[in-house]
Structure 1
Amino acid sequence: MEKTLAEMQREVDRYISQFKEGYFSPLSMLARMSEEVGELAREVNHSFGEKPKKATEEENSIELELGDILFITICFANSLGIDLTEAHDKVMHKFNTRDADRWTKKDTE
């Protein structure tokens, strides 16, 4: 079943709301997001770069790292009261107007 961003935001909020600690501070979440992006970079380097994994390194995946980044992004947005659907719509409007002629379009035949 496909989920909307709003559904994902509510699901994450239900999860976080069961804990007394609640959401981390914005600065802590930014640090956590940076950590997750670093873990994604490591996985991409192992999969597409010149640095293979050591035999002792645990198995991980780009998919899981992207999932971690999505989770912390949703936490960050929720903690600040940001509607990610609205944020997405604003960003797409920006790309569709400001960058409308920036890239070479594919032929539509």
Structure 2
Amino acid sequence: MDTRDMQKEVDDYINQFKTGYFSPLGQLARLTEEVGELAREISHNYGEKQKKPEETEKKLEEELGDVLFVIITLANSLEIDLSKAFELTMNKFNTRDRDRFERIDDESI
């Protein structure tokens, strides 16, 4: 599924409810919450802080999916095409940041 398909599927889902899209600020708060949940899971799985015995196990895949869903809702509500946004970002990395990090193929020089 490409980003346009994902954006359409989320739009179809949201538009079945009277509430519709939350405000951009409300969505940003929700995104912050979801990123926090992702951070907590990564901390538990790869960091020093172990889960409490009563805490349920969550999959990183689900937490990333939640973050992606909220990013898509935010983009949709602001009428931003994520494919175009991604192209702009990759162009930035491939031009401005082109020589920022040492490349694997530079080791042979």
TM > 0.5: yes
**After TM superposition, what 4+ stretches of structure 1 lie above 3 angstroms from structure 2?**
none
Report the equivalent of 1:101. 99
Amino acid at match of 1:14: D
Q: Secondary structure at the match of 1:20?
A: coil
Deviation at 1:59, TM superposition (A): 1.6
Matched, 1:48 2:34: no
Report the equivalent of 2:79. 81
Partners of 2:60 and 2:31 in 1: CA distance:
15
TM-score for both structures, normalised by structure 1: 0.94
Deviation at 1:48, TM superposition (A): 0.6
Partners of 2:43 and 2:93 in 1: CA distance:
28
Q: Secondary structure at the match of 1:107?
A: helix
Q: Secondary structure at the match of 2:105?
A: coil
Structure 1 portions without partners, runs of 5+: none
TM-score for both structures, normalised by structure 2: 0.94
Matched, 1:15 2:13: yes
Partners of 1:100 and 1:51 in 2: CA distance:
36
Structure 2 portions without partners, runs of 5+: none
Partners of 1:104 and 1:7 in 2: CA distance:
35
Paired residues in the alignment total: 107
